[in-house]
Amino acid sequence: MFILRDYQNKAVCEVAQSWRQGFKRPCVVMPCGAGKSIVLAEIAKRTTDRGKRVLFLVHRQELCEQIENTFQEYGVDMNLVTVGMVQTITRRLKKITKPDLIITDENHHCLAASYMRIYDLFPDVKCVGVTATPIRLNGSGLGEINDHLIIGPTVKKLISMDCLAPFDYYAPSVADFSRIHTRAGEFVATEVEQLMNMPHIYGDVIRYYRQISDGKQAICYCASIKCSQDMTLQFQKEGIAAVHIDGSTPQTERSEIIRRFRSGEIRILCNVDLISEGFDVPDCNTAILLRPTKSLTLYIQQAMRCMRYKPGKRATVIDHVGNVHRFGLLDMDRQWTLEPKPEKNKMEKEVKLKQCPRCYYTHEPDSECPNCGYEYESERKVPHVIKDAKLEKITEQVAGFTRPGQCRSVAELAEYAKKKGYKPGWVYYQARDRGIRC
């Protein structure tokens, strides 16, 4: 039997109040593991109890069965509910009975064209979406779709209420991806894959797993399918039960792998980003991050996958790629808005200059220096290497620094640099000048 927690009931009531106030598409923000599916089940049940129809949109097949099971257990009249992948729904729009309510799971996807076609077909239908991160990778706000933001409890609050597991976070003091190109707002996968094939740069994955979380269940997020397959073999060679899974894994095999992982038969589940949004594994203790990302959504979805609550549990995040230095710890307070992030200063966007490291000639961006012929492309192919990278425990203490002189370690300098938007080289020179060992 499901009993709504106070914050879940509050979210349901705020959605109803939002509709009464004239808003049509509120978005509920709740951290991973807060029980968003239960909130949606209550909203769906109240709708079907009045004989109204619900259309529930998900973006992955596994989530269809998961939400259907939750709704059935909760007592939702499934005769009045259509649960489907958005791609499938868009192909069958002419056959879909007009719903009275559209629910969007993982609502940060709502600006995709496939979702927009559904909303446009039913412009007068009330909607509600849920997400842990109401922002898209390109910085677009969700205000084009949603008209009201409902903010749930913070991660810190949920940990204090024993609704999420407390966690320890380990990462290298500096993780330099400045030489990796960006495409469509994200690191270029092929370049990341090449970089991550050099384990000495960001630490020995097997060694740190044994040192920090030996024998515990972990989900390992890799930069590519090949990296995931290679990492699986490395774990297996060390006698650790590991399996790779990706989008091309047959459905029956994928279900069996997930079942074996849930039962504890499999220790390490390697993937790229398949096991992220909506994947519920309460007994998973550890998240191993081997995929650098510029997406706050992806970072939170993957890193928090190990924080589902269980009495006595303490989660562990082993972040070999320093995502924490780009986004901060999982429980830091964040200000959410439906508005897009502000654009950079216009002058800042227009003035883009390079200084040649050989002759110090300053010029407009190009593949080579027009003064001495220095080739920048060859420089980009050589990543900044941190030899024998060491992971250290990351704490929230670094968040309070107001000047570099307060920093006493490379990790603190890196966090300060991230907040100020400084380049990774700043950390190196500050550490050198202050006598801090890298």
Between 380 and 174, where is the model more confident?
174
Going by pLDDT thresholds of 50, 70 and 90, the confidence category of residue 422 is confident
**Per-residue model confidence (pLDDT) at position 55:** 97
Same fold, 6-153 and 167-327: yes
Going by pLDDT thresholds of 50, 70 and 90, the confidence category of residue 325 is confident
Going by pLDDT thresholds of 50, 70 and 90, the confidence category of residue 437 is low
Interacting residues of 173 by C-beta distance below 8 A, sequence separation 6+: 390, 392, 409, 410, 411, 414, 438
User: DSSP secondary structure string, 355-406?
Assistant: E-TTT--EESS-SB-TTT--BHHHHHTSPPP-TT--EEE--GGGGG-SSGGG
What are the pLDDT digits (tens) for 32-49?
Answer: 989 999 999 999 999 999
Between 105 and 281, where is the model more confident?
105
Mean pLDDT of 408-416: 74
Query: What SS3 class is residue 133?
Result: coil
Chosen CATH of 167-327 out of 1.10.10.60, 3.40.50.300, 3.30.450.80, 3.30.2350.10: 3.40.50.300
Kindly tell me if the per-residue pLDDT of 238 is higher than 50.
yes
What are the pLDDT digits (tens) for 245-303?
Answer: 988 888 889 889 988 998 999 999 999 877 766 565 657 899 999 999 988 989 999 99
Mean pLDDT of 430-438: 65
Rounded to 10 deg, the angle between the 410-420 and 424-434 helix axes is 140
**Per-residue model confidence (pLDDT) at position 412:** 75
**Per-residue model confidence (pLDDT) at position 384:** 41
Mean pLDDT of 398-424: 67
Domain-wise residue ranges, the chain: 6-153, 167-327, 397-438
The fold of 6-153 is: Rossmann fold (3.40.50)
**Per-residue model confidence (pLDDT) at position 267:** 96
Going by pLDDT thresholds of 50, 70 and 90, the confidence category of residue 312 is very high
Going by pLDDT thresholds of 50, 70 and 90, the confidence category of residue 135 is confident
Q: Convert 160-177 to b/e letters by CB count within 10 Å (16 or more is b).
A: eeebbbebebbbbbbbbb
- Cβ proximity of 220 and 270 under 8 Å: yes
Which whole-number Å values give the CA distances from 245 to 61, 205, 263, 287, in the listed order? 15, 18, 16, 15
One-letter amino acid for residue 64 of the chain: C
User: First-to-last CA distance in the chain?
Assistant: 53
Kindly tell me if the per-residue pLDDT of 414 is higher than 90.
no
Residues forming a β-bridge with 271: 221
What are the pLDDT digits (tens) for 336-369?
Answer: 989 876 554 433 344 455 666 665 556 566 667 6
Kindly tell me if the per-residue pLDDT of 381 is higher than 50.
no
User: DSSP secondary structure string, 74-119?
Assistant: HT--GGGEEEEEHHHHHHTGGGSPPPSEEEESSGGGTTSHHHHHHH
Mean pLDDT of 399-422: 67
